[in-house]
Amino acid sequence: MYQSILENQRQKLDLDEPIIRDLSESDLNQVLEISKESFIIPWSLKSFINELLNQNSILKVAELNGEVIGYVVARKIVDEAEILSLAVKKDFRRKGIATKLMKSVLNEIKDFVKSCFLDVRVSNEPAIKLYEKLGFKKVGIRKKYYLYPEEDALLMKLDIS
Ligand SMILES: CC(C)(COP(=O)(O)OP(=O)(O)OC[C@H]1O[C@@H](n2cnc3c(N)ncnc32)[C@H](O)[C@@H]1OP(=O)(O)O)[C@@H](O)C(=O)NCCC(=O)NCCS
């Protein structure tokens, strides 16, 4: 019995388990760095602040031992939602962090929206695989949607209800 109590305590104190929480203003420097290392055209501080001020937006970070290691930005539009940005710090990729961030957003919107959309570069296999694993389906192509380099976007959709 003592052993199981100790095991429970150990799990509660497990420092290797990231937490997913709402993004706050004090996270912005770290989030900007992650965006910079993840995208050719990273989001600006102004873009993040605009979303923080938008009541329909959902912004979450993954935090590990006090360090921000990933973020996701989504927005609700009537009965739909859109994933606007998602990135995980390079050293922490392939550990299920993006999956956790996405599940947290999907859990928060599941009672309010019927479907969730996102755009992704057609060459971005890691992201496409992640979204497919979460149940998103390929529903269209937006020709030459991205710049630097110019590339088509794959439009993906998750039916929620
Ligand atoms: C795409 C990204 C967010 C994935 O983050 P992550 O935390 O590494 O993803 P997860 O560990 O949750 O991966 C979940 C699944 O996605 C797929 N996946 C993720 N990275 C992959 C890779 N490099 N190659 C192939 N499949 C990959 C796998 O199926 C993986 O499951 P598995 O590890 O059990 O095989 C991350 O690579 C990233 O930040 N990329 C740069 C920014 C970006 O492209 N964002 C998306 C824009 S639409």
Residue 99 alpha carbon, nearest atom of ligand 1: 12
Please report the pLDDT score of residue 101 as a whole number.
Answer: 98
Q: Which of 88, 145, 156 to mutate to test the pocket of ligand 1 (most atoms within 8 A of CB)?
A: 88
Please report the pLDDT score of residue 10 as a whole number.
Answer: 47
Please report the pLDDT score of residue 88 as a whole number.
Answer: 98
Interval between CA 136 and ligand 1 midpoint (Å): 14
Q: How many C-alpha atoms does 117 have within 13 Å on its Cβ side?
A: 15
Residue 130 alpha carbon, nearest atom of ligand 1: 16
Tokens of 132: 């497919």
- β-sheet with 57-64: strand ranges across: 19-22, 57-64, 67-77, 80-88, 115-121, 151-159, 137-146
Question: 87 CB less than 6 Å from ligand 1?
Answer: yes
Please report the pLDDT score of residue 161 as a whole number.
Answer: 81
For atom 30 of ligand 1, which residue has the closest CA?
Answer: 130
Of 121, 115, 114, 116, nearest to 141 by C-alpha is: 121
Residue 34 alpha carbon, nearest atom of ligand 1: 39
Question: 130 CB less than 6 Å from ligand 1?
Answer: yes
Question: 114 CB less than 6 Å from ligand 1?
Answer: no
Interval between CA 29 and ligand 1 midpoint (Å): 23
CA distance 96 to 133: 11
Please report the pLDDT score of residue 16 as a whole number.
Answer: 80
Question: What domains does the chain contain, in order, with CATH numbers?
Answer: 13-159 (3.40.630.30)
Split the chain (161 residues) into runs of 10 and give each run's mean pLDDT.
53 72 98 97 97 98 97 97 98 98 97 97 98 98 96 98 81
CA distance 119 to 77: 15
Interval between CA 127 and ligand 1 midpoint (Å): 5
